[in-house]
């Protein structure tokens, strides 16, 4: 059975059985009819996925792997903050007339800073460090720029990534691991969506660096199930679980910036039925 299902079910049970409700609090998000979107939340969830064992896709319901990969390429490869560069409609409600979501996500990854070796943007610096100083403990991207927050339509949720390389005894190749810091997580709409995104990012960066994709540690500060999602989640976590699909990347692509969603190879993805029309709190 998929490890991602196991972790997802256990996280949902923790939230439903031991979480606290935000009802009565002043909350920001709204449902499309204007009602406040309350939630049951748990503080401080950590989930660990080992990509050497299996790909962390949920099988309780299918996760749109290609769209998820497209969004991660939009941020870290195309470095865009405009929904016209994105092939799905998931960000439409947060964009302005020009399609911009403000100084968020890809905009931050594209920002250049000075280093002793010259100017780099955030992603280029990660790739440079992995090549030149792989055991550095300073390999980070961070989109939570305080001075730009007022120009973001939604503050980044999954906001920082720290890469860390390990070398197992007797292993010739280095292993690349990742910590994803997420301040806020809509568990039903986006938990597995975010997990597969960063698993794919780890796989693409590892390929570029000539390393093995190792562990993804997902730290979630506020893991919540919105009130209108509770019955959907209760049904979802009772469903049968299946073995994880096999997910790989086109073996011919070696450069991080050459990846497209056509390079995603998914085999044997057996999953329960999709939950259609999940309402998203804006």
Ligand X SMILES: O=c1ccn([C@H]2C[C@H](O)[C@@H](COP(=O)(O)O)O2)c(=O)[nH]1
Ligand Y SMILES: Nc1nc(=O)c2c([nH]1)NC[C@@H]1CN(c3ccc(C(=O)N[C@@H](CCC(=O)O)C(=O)O)cc3)CN21
Site string for ligand Y, 119-158 (x = CB under 6 A): -----------------------------------x----
Question: What gap in Å lies between CA 183 and CA 58, rounded to an integer?
Answer: 21
Indicate whether 219 belongs to the interface with ligand Y (CB under 6 A). Answer: no
Shortest distance (Å) from residue 221 CB to ligand X: 10
Binding to ligand Y (CB under 6 A): which residues in 72-91? 88, 90-91
Give 39 or 203: the residue with its C-beta nearer to ligand Y.
39
Q: What are phi and psi of 149, to 5 degrees?
A: -55, -35
Shortest distance (Å) from residue 189 CB to ligand Y: 4
Give 63 or 141: the residue with its C-beta nearer to ligand Y.
63
Of 4, 12, 65, 157, the active-site residue reads 157
79 φψ region: left (φ > 0), alpha (ψ -120 to 50), beta (else): left
- Among ligand X, ligand Y, none, partner that 250 touches (CB below 5 to 8 angstroms by kind): none
Give 9 or 39: the residue with its C-beta nearer to ligand X.
39
The torsion of the CA quartet 190, 195, 196, 202, rounded to 10 degrees, works out to 140
- The reply to whether 157 belongs to the active site is yes
- Among ligand X, ligand Y, none, partner that 28 touches (CB below 5 to 8 angstroms by kind): ligand X
Contacting residues toward ligand X, per CB under 6 A: 28-29, 154-155, 157-158, 184-186, 190, 194
Among 27, 64, 217, 232, binds ligand Y (CB under 6 A): 64
Indicate whether 281 belongs to the interface with ligand Y (CB under 6 A). Answer: yes
Applying CB under 6 A, the residues found at the interface with ligand Y are 29, 63-64, 67, 88, 90-91, 94, 154, 186, 189-190, 193, 280-281
Which positions are annotated as active-site residues?
Answer: 157
């Amino acid at each position: 059975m998929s490890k991602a299902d196991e972790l997802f079910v256990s996280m949902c049970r923790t939230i439903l059985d031991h979480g606290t409700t935000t009802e009565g609090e002043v909350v920001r998000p709204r449902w499309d009819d204007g009602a406040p979107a309350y939630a049951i939340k748990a503080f401080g969830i950590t989930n660990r996925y080992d990509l050497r064992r299996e790909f962390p896709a949920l099988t309780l319901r299918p996760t749109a792997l290609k769209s998820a990969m497209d969004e991660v390429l939009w941020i870290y490869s195309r470095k865009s903050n405009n929904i016209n560069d994105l092939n799905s409609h998931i960000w439409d409600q947060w964009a302005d007339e020009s399609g911009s979501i403000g100084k968020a996500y890809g905009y931050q990854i594209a920002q250049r800073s000075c280093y002793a070796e010259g100017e780099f943007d955030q992603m280029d610096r990660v790739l440079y460090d992995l090549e030149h100083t792989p055991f550095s403990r300073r390999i980070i991207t961070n989109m939570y720029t305080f001075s730009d927050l007022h120009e973001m339509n939604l503050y980044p949720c999954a906001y920082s990534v720290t890469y860390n390389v390990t070398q197992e005894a007797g292993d010739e190749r280095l292993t690349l691991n990742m910590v994803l810091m997420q301040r806020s997580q809509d568990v039903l709409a986006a938990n597995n969506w975010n997990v597969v995104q960063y698993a794919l990012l780890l796989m693409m960066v590892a390929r570029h660096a000539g390393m093995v994709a190792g562990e993804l540690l997902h730290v979630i500060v506020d893991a919540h199930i919105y009130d209108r999602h509770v019955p959907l989640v209760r049904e979802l976590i009772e469903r049968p679980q299946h073995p994880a699909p096999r997910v790989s990347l086109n073996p011919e692509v070696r450069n991080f910036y050459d990846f497209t969603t056509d390079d995603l190879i998914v085999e044997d993805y057996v999953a329960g039925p999709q939950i259609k029309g999940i309402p998203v709190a804006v």
